[in-house]
Amino acid sequence: CVDSLKDYNVDPKRAAEGAVPGVTLVSSAELGLTRLVESTNVNLNPFRLFLQYWTETLYNDESNYNLKTRSIDRYFWERLYIGRGSTDPTVAPGVLRNLSEAKSLITADQFLDPKIKANQIACVEVLSIYAWTVLVDTYGNVPYNQSLDYNNPQPQYDDAATIYTNLFARINAAIAQMDASATGLGKADLVYGGDMSSWIKFANTLKLRMAITTADADAARAKTQSEAAASKVFTSNSDNATLAFQADLPNTNPLWEDLVNSGRHDFVGTSFFVDNLNTLKDPRLGIYFKPVAGTTATYKGGVNGALNTASLFSNPGTALEDPTLPGVLASYSEVEFLLSEAAARGFAVGGTAASHYTNAISASIEQWGGSTTDAAAYLTQPTVAYATAAGDYKQKIGTQAWIALYNQPIQAWAEWRRLDYPKLTAPADALSPIPVRLTYPSVEQNLNNTNYTAAAAAIGGDKVDTKIFWDKF
Amino acid sequence: QDRAISGKVTDRSTGQGLPGVTIIVKGQPTIGTSTNADGAYTLSVPSVATTLVYSFVGYATQEAPITGANTISIALATDTKQLNEVVVTALGVERSRNSLAYSATQVDGSDITVARNPNPINGLSGKVAGLAITQSNTLGGSSNVIIRGTKSISGNNQALFVVDGVPISNANTNSTAQQTGSSGYDYGNAAADINPDDIATTTVLKGAAATALYGERAANGVILITTKKGRKSGVGVTVNSGVTFGRIDKSTFIKYQKQYGAGYGQYFNDYNGGSVAPTQDDASYGNAFDPSQLVYQWGAFTPGSPTFGQATPWVAAENDPSTFFKTGVSTLNSIVVDGGNETGTFKLGYVNDIQRGVLPNSNITKNTINFAGSLNLTPKLTVSTTVNYTRLAGLGRYGTGYGSENLMTNFRQWWETNVDIKEQKEAYERYNTNATWNLYSPETGDFSAAFWNNPYFVRYQNYENDSRYRTFGNVMANYKVFKGFDIVGRVTADSYDEMQEERSAVGSTTASYNPYYSRYNHTYREFNYDLFGNFSRDFNEYFSLRGVIGTNLRRVYNSSIFAQTNGGLVVPGLYSLSNSSSPINTPTESETNVGVDGVFVSATFGFRERVFLDLTARRDKATTLPTGNNSYIYPSVALGYVFSEDLHDKAPWLSYGKIRGNYAQVGAGALPLSVNNVYGKPAIFNSQTLFSVASTRNNPDLKPEKTRSAEFGLETAFLDSRVGLDATVYQQNSIDQIIPIAQSAASGVLNRYVNSGNVRNRGVELAAFVVPVKTQNFNWRLGANWARNENVVISLPVDNILLASYQGGVTSNATPGQAFGSLRGSDYVYLNGQRVVGANGYYLTTDANQIIGNPNPRWRGGVTNTISYKTISLSFLIDVRSGGSVFSLDRYYGLATGLQPETAGLNDLGNPSRNSIANGGGIIVDGVLADGTPNTKRVSNSSYGLYGYLRNPASTFVYDASYVKLREVSLTFGLPKAVLAKVSFLKTADFSIIGRNLWIIHKNLPDADPEDVASSGNFGQGYQGGAYPATRTLGANLRFGF
């Protein structure tokens, strides 16, 4: 009889809730997060188009900021909170919910060494804080305090600035909890292989990033937090927080999947970016882009947002066509730009704006395989050198950070919004000004309407040109 | 004192005397006589006699009071079919139609096979009020079978098929991606395995009261199929042999503009000092055709092509994609041998069914063997069995949805009007390579396929194949314990194993995926163990009781494994998992088990053979629900009154009349494995095992869904049953729905199963017939059915449930106050009823959350017409659907890429709209500016987008899905009896000419068949993308009986 068939409700083919090591979910979160920031998928990550690194060839909807047809705002949001699909092994996992589950599994593990447990939880915290900053920087107010609780289907949105305040407390607590003498996540850590001294640098790097990102909104906090972090951040490219993608699908770099494996030719450099690199004789030009088909050294960009024939313009470079190209969560170059800006803002982070600026550019060139000589030659140009480059610190740093963060499009977008350089112009046919945020997913209007409406009103309207709280200028 | 009464009994309709009519004195059955050859009688009756009773097979029994007169003549009315017709009801229990207090429509097997439809499900379309069948235009594709509307928001809504007691699911195994319009194949539904020629009768049990004995799986209505049994005496052989020819109905295919060729804009690329067409651009917004201009086109770069290396005139293709379709020749041959005697019967049948599609390299072969036998072991014990074995093999089923394997997305959405299909055929056949028109960049030496393959390469190299081996049947024993009580024991099984192999050949475009091979193996087993007792007793002439008491144990086992190569294929043409370029990912396994134990009891109380009260109850205990919360009772009550029995004298024109009403509650269990939570399993990363929280949250507190249903009906026949009407009104509320409710992703899950919500279906069903002519040689019968179902979501725990998201920014939703499946997307912005245009000259559009369509029709109907003269008969069926909407992704993209003539017309100035604005072209879209003044801004139509998705909201592409179809036509010539008499071995012989889907008399959706939606099931209703044209089928069938 039926009552004797209790195991009929037990899935014989899948792991039951609670039955797996917590660190296996951290691996998933690391993979999901890195894929998201690295991707150029037109359903997920349009930021290279916003920054006019690239424009599209035949189907230029996203280049013209049509973000609704493909529900980009929704997929970006979902990936950070939960991810989609549970049975398909080729679907990338989500981030925050896996981290919260990992945290409770690790916490519940009675046999784990307390030091290791503290380290593992601290790593989970750092990754969570990273994801939260991406969410807040992208949407503004988001569900935070009431989030990740499936019993509450309609979580309230929290004030973006308040979330940041809480995240600062959390990152400091996580840093305090880290112990470099013990291991962390071990081999499950796809970023640092469990090395806690690297995690301490990564956590401080993230703290520095958070401080400078919000510097226009809370200068005092930016000063204290960046000064506290400055001595503990990345000091070379070998510290970079990267995830080493694999040669075989589905663990390949998502750029390779869309640029090479698809056989498609959807993206070319924009004339604005390529011309800039040409003018500056940038040594990264031949790495960032391929010469125009049939030429050896002619680099030419397409018209942003227009119909472009891929074969007539420079396509993304060979370096980006490597399936094992590591995905970058944070880079030394980025750190030096942040320190340069901190110094320019008068924060006591050691060094000068110029020295950090120089380090940042060198680090970027070297990160892409250039030599120190290349970097030095580049930096001697008056148009590049900090002292002589055009404009104020915002323009100098903004322009060079824009070039350097070519393959960190989400971070590049944040820098551009804060520094407002380089000056970009929307395409003629664009549906909106260049987005400075993503709109909330349309499904939030269906599923969480009251809270959605309140949040939209609180931030000044659910539009792509509503500025995030820290984007003051 | 006896006295003699005499008279004449005649047929009321013909006035002729009726011989053999039995006449008795009421209350004294021993006193009686019968009429002579002329219908005359004489009977000596005692003085106490008050009434005479006249009865005769085929006529309604009638009474006449004995008055002073010595002559009583009477005209008997032919019995309406309803009166004594035996109807098969739940659990296979046969009951007289009289005693049924709920709606049950019986369709004869011959009515299903009249047009020789190889799919018996589709053969029911348009024939039963309240049964909505939506057919697919793909070869062997699935049919959506819904009775009285969609009830369950997330569960199965397909009617349950029961063949001789064997429950057969109509569910399909198609992937969710396929069902929501992504790339895939439609593998059809398993209920199509039933052999149409084996069907004796089909009963459609619509309401819950009729199906309540099926308990947990009764909510969607039941289609009960009884197969033919062997004849009781002698041996017979029936042979059917038919062939049909299918060709596409061009009114359901796109028509192309012939003025402009390849390009997203009007340009050529430079090559070799000349011009090369932009072969990469899968659109037709390019340069205007000009026969005097020579352009390098794809053929110039295709080795072996007669135009290799040559620039050719820039002209529209002579052979557009409508010439891609061929004539699909199908054959259906069957033979049935049956026989029997006093102690037993048998039947053995074989069917060979070969269907060939209108696409090259497509066919489905079905071989069926069935056996039925019964043996009376003792006068009390009968054993019987039926076994069906089907082997189905599919090859080259049509690709569906959005993708390079569905050529309709190519032909209807992304096409170059200068590409000649015949040249593509020759190019493929030259070396069997992917000689595609859609070369990436021939001018720079890159000849790879950009987005689309050569269509012939797709059909001959990127094909799927599949097989299904299926056995279903039962063994049964019936023991008559005593008169009026027998016990039936029955074991039924439905068992199949299927395999589906898909492939994309080396050389194909990799725009969506690498060349691959995948295989899917699925095993399904269902066993039912039934034991029940049938009780039947007439206590006296007033009271009778019939009852059933029994138990049913159901066990279902379902398992599958799917594996696919990774990263491409190494050896071209080798389709095996080991030929994977990269190590393959772990295959996906699934296994589910379901057990349901049911006990049931039913009782029918009869009073004077005219008032019937039905009571049933069933208790189910299901493993899919949490222990302790897994047992539920489903009751029903029904009351019927045959009032015409009491009105014979007062209303002789009333041949039959019955009113009926009922109430019932039935259930639907949870999907298996909806109780406990499990982790998802991403691929192993660099030797590290990954787990991931599932995006759907299960629920340990689930209970079954319930459908409460009330029904009221009236069945009548008039004027000797020359006119009849059957009307039913019903309301069903499906509550406690098991729904994976979408919730804010910020809550950490995308969906969570809960019990909640209420969906109401209510409606009216009418079935009527009229027999205008009825003579010995000439008969004309007209039947019509009409049903209107109003579906509305009454309540939900949330504002809206997103059922499915489709390409094109369109979603399917359940929203309180709206019909199930309402379509949402972006709409125009309106000002005083006029569309608002922005300063840039294009329409303003809203967000994607507007309700833009309702896929549910207002009503459906069918008209059948049968005229027979001697042995010739003509019948046809008109199938009508009125209302409901369908979103066309084909037009969403096709109008953007400039395929249709309307994208290349003249503008208000009389100039070609595709001219540049400077050159008098461009369009002023119809609308007003935000201030209400008319729009005067002229916008360009010289590159892609103006008419399609780029510049218009999704609502632009929502169309009315009504249709009127001439669904079936059949003209049959039988050999006259006189001829047959001379051929002693031949009992029957007839020849039919049949047609199916010959003519869409009316529709509002341009260029496509509004019935062809993404898939059967809850997803894809009201959504069309990459639609196949309808196939007109014409054929002939020969039938001999020996």
- One pLDDT digit (tens) per residue for chain A, 473 residues: 777 887 888 899 999 999 999 999 999 999 999 999 999 998 899 999 999 999 999 888 899 999 887 889 999 999 999 987 555 666 788 999 999 999 999 999 999 999 999 999 999 999 999 999 999 999 999 999 999 999 999 999 999 999 999 999 999 999 999 999 999 999 999 999 999 999 999 999 999 999 999 999 999 999 999 999 999 999 999 999 999 999 998 999 999 999 999 888 899 999 999 999 999 999 999 999 999 988 999 999 999 999 898 889 999 999 999 999 999 999 999 999 999 999 999 999 999 999 999 999 999 999 999 999 999 999 999 999 999 999 999 999 999 999 999 999 999 999 999 999 999 999 988 989 999 999 999 889 878 989 999 999 999 999 999 999 999 99
Residue A180 sits in the same domain as residue A270 = no
Put simply, the answer to whether A68 touches B696 (Cβ < 8 Å) is no
* B674: nearest CA partner in chain A: A9
Residue A175 sits in the same domain as residue A290 = no
Å from B395 to nearest chain A CA?
26
Put simply, the answer to whether A11 touches B673 (Cβ < 8 Å) is yes
* A31: nearest CA partner in chain B: B685
Put simply, the answer to whether A86 touches B695 (Cβ < 8 Å) is yes
Nearest to A447 among B451, B679, B743 (CB): B743
Determine what percent of chain B is predicted with pLDDT higher than 70: 99
Per-residue model confidence as pLDDT tens digits over B372-393: 999 999 989 999 999 999 999 9
* Gap between the Cα atoms of A404 and A388, Å rounded: 19
* Gap between the Cα atoms of B564 and B364, Å rounded: 24
Domain membership flag for residue A300: yes
Put simply, the answer to whether A148 touches B683 (Cβ < 8 Å) is no
Nearest to A25 among B692, B697, B746 (CB): B692
Instruction: Check pLDDT > 60 for residue B499.
Output: yes
Structure tokens at B668: 């639907």
Nearest to A447 among B280, B697, B744 (CB): B744
- Show which of A293, A321, A349 is a domain's final residue: A321
Put simply, the answer to whether A9 touches B673 (Cβ < 8 Å) is yes
Cβ of B934: how many Cβ atoms within 10 Å? 11
Per-residue model confidence as pLDDT tens digits over B800-858: 888 888 888 899 999 999 999 999 999 999 999 999 999 989 999 998 889 999 999 99
Which chain B residues have a beta carbon less than 8 Å from that of A464? none
Segment among A83-87, A128-132, B729-733, B981-985 with least mean pLDDT: A83-87
Domain membership flag for residue A363: no
* Gap between the Cα atoms of A299 and B288, Å rounded: 32
Residue A279 sits in the same domain as residue A232 = no
Structure tokens at A245: 């993608």
Nearest to B690 among A93, A96, A100 (CB): A93
Domain membership flag for residue A45: yes
Residue A124 sits in the same domain as residue A264 = no
Average pLDDT estimate for B329-339:
92
- Show which of A292, A321, A350 is a domain's final residue: A321
Burial class (CB in 10 A: 0-12, 13-18, 19+), A372: exposed
Can you give the pLDDT at residue B114?
83
Domain with A40, as residue range(s), is 23-49+68-236+436-459
Q: Which of B446, B744, B801, B946 to mutate to test the interface with A (most CBs of A within 10 A)?
A: B744
- The structure tokens 């199949």 sit at B496
Domain membership flag for residue A12: no
**DSSP code string of A49-109:** HHTTSEEESS--TGGGT--TTTTHHHHHHHHHHTBS-SS-TTSPB-SHHHHHHHHHHHHH-
Residue A87 sits in the same domain as residue A223 = yes
Task: Name the residue ranges covered by the structural domains of chain B.
Answer: 3-79, 122-127+158-246+329-401+457-821+856-890+962-1033, 250-325+402-456
Spatial contact of B1037 and B991, defined as CB atoms under 8 Å apart = yes
Structure tokens at B28: 């004294």
Nearest to B683 among A90, A261, A448 (CB): A90
Nearest to A86 among B450, B680, B748 (CB): B680
Q: Which segments of B539-686 are extended strands (E)?
A: 543-564, 566-569, 580-582, 588-607, 611-622, 631-641, 654-668, 679-680
Spatial contact of B108 and B201, defined as CB atoms under 8 Å apart = yes
Domain membership flag for residue A7: no
Alpha helix positions (H), A193-284: 196-213, 219-229, 254-256, 271-279
Structure tokens at A149: 């609780």
Spatial contact of B275 and B295, defined as CB atoms under 8 Å apart = yes
Spatial contact of A27 and B690, defined as CB atoms under 8 Å apart = yes
Can you give the pLDDT at residue B78?
67
Å from A263 to nearest chain B CA?
5
Nearest to A294 among B440, B444, B514 (CB): B444
Å from A393 to nearest chain B CA?
38
Average pLDDT over all residues of chain B = 90
Put simply, the answer to whether A444 touches B744 (Cβ < 8 Å) is yes
- Sign (positive or negative) of CA dihedral A342, A343, A346, A350: positive
Determine what percent of chain B is predicted with pLDDT higher than 90: 60
Which chain A residues have a beta carbon less than 8 Å from that of B673? 9, 11
Nearest to B750 among A71, A82, A244 (CB): A82
Domain membership flag for residue A394: no
**DSSP code string of B242-307:** EEEEEEE-GGGS----SSB-SBSSS--EEETTEEE--TT--SB-SPBPEEEEEEE-GGGGSTT-TT
Domain membership flag for residue A270: yes
Give the CATH number for residue A215: 1.25.40.390
Residue A148 sits in the same domain as residue A287 = no
* B677: nearest CA partner in chain A: A17
Give the type of residue at B261.
G
Reported residue count of chain A is: 473
- Show which of A288, A304, A321 is a domain's final residue: A321
* A313: nearest CA partner in chain B: B444
Put simply, the answer to whether A307 touches B512 (Cβ < 8 Å) is no
Spatial contact of B170 and B191, defined as CB atoms under 8 Å apart = yes
Which chain A residues have a beta carbon less than 8 Å from that of B681? 14-15, 87, 89
* Gap between the Cα atoms of B854 and B846, Å rounded: 18
Instruction: Give helix A332-344 / helix A219-229 axis angle, nearest 10°.
Output: 130
Q: What is the 3-state secondary structure (H, E, C) of A128-147?
A: HHHHHHHHHHHHCCEECCCC
Put simply, the answer to whether A248 touches B567 (Cβ < 8 Å) is yes
Q: Is B399 helix (H, G, I), strand (E, B) or coil?
A: strand
Average pLDDT estimate for B508-528:
92
Å from A150 to nearest chain B CA?
5
Residue A201 sits in the same domain as residue A87 = yes
* Gap between the Cα atoms of A213 and A468, Å rounded: 11
CATH code for residues B3-79: 2.60.40.1120
* Gap between the Cα atoms of A33 and A25, Å rounded: 12
* A248: nearest CA partner in chain B: B582
* Gap between the Cα atoms of B86 and B63, Å rounded: 24
Which chain A residues have a beta carbon less than 8 Å from that of B451? 264
Cβ of A460: how many Cβ atoms within 10 Å? 12
Buried b / exposed e over A392-403, threshold 16 CB at 10 Å, is ebebbbbbbbbb
Nearest to A6 among B627, B688, B943 (CB): B627
Q: Which of A249, A290, A312, A464 to mutate to test the interface with B (most CBs of B within 10 A)?
A: A249
Q: Chains A, B: CB contacts under 8 A, how many?
A: 275
Residue A72 sits in the same domain as residue A221 = yes
* A77: nearest CA partner in chain B: B745
Residue A218 sits in the same domain as residue A108 = yes
Counting the structural domains of chain A, the total is 2
Nearest to A446 among B586, B683, B849 (CB): B849
Residue A182 sits in the same domain as residue A309 = no
Put simply, the answer to whether B682 touches A9 (Cβ < 8 Å) is no
Q: What is the 3-state secondary structure (H, E, C) of B750-781?
A: CEEEEEEEEEEEEEEEEEEEEEEEECCCEEEE
Put simply, the answer to whether A263 touches B826 (Cβ < 8 Å) is no
Put simply, the answer to whether B509 touches A86 (Cβ < 8 Å) is no
Per-residue model confidence as pLDDT tens digits over B388-443: 999 999 999 999 999 889 999 999 999 999 999 999 999 999 999 999 999 999 98
Å from A201 to nearest chain B CA?
24
Å from A265 to nearest chain B CA?
8
Q: Is B811 helix (H, G, I), strand (E, B) or coil?
A: strand
Q: Which of A70, A72, A82, A462 to mutate to test the interface with B (most CBs of B within 10 A)?
A: A82
Residue A45 sits in the same domain as residue A108 = yes
Domain membership flag for residue A32: yes
Put simply, the answer to whether B748 touches A69 (Cβ < 8 Å) is no
Residue A230 sits in the same domain as residue A277 = no
Put simply, the answer to whether A82 touches B745 (Cβ < 8 Å) is yes
* Gap between the Cα atoms of B631 and B537, Å rounded: 32
Choice between B485 and B76, residue whose per-residue pLDDT is larger: B485
Å from A442 to nearest chain B CA?
7
Average pLDDT over all residues of chain A = 94
* B627: nearest CA partner in chain A: A3
Å from B966 to nearest chain A CA?
38
Which chain B residues have a beta carbon less than 8 Å from that of A259? none
Average pLDDT estimate for B1026-1037:
94
User: Which residue, among B342, B387, B647, has the nearest Cα to B492 in the 3D structure?
Assistant: B387
Instruction: Check pLDDT > 60 for residue B84.
Output: no
Å from A350 to nearest chain B CA?
39
Which chain A residues have a beta carbon less than 8 Å from that of B597? 1-2
Which chain B residues have a beta carbon less than 8 Å from that of A10? 676
Which chain B residues have a beta carbon less than 8 Å from that of A86? 678-680, 692-696
* Gap between the Cα atoms of A247 and B582, Å rounded: 9
Nearest to B685 among A31, A149, A443 (CB): A31
Domain B122-127+158-246+329-401+457-821+856-890+962-1033 fold is: Maltoporin; Chain A (2.40.170)
> Taking the CA of residue B298 as centre, how many other CA atoms within 13 Å lie in the half-sphere pointing to its CB?
31
Å from A94 to nearest chain B CA?
8
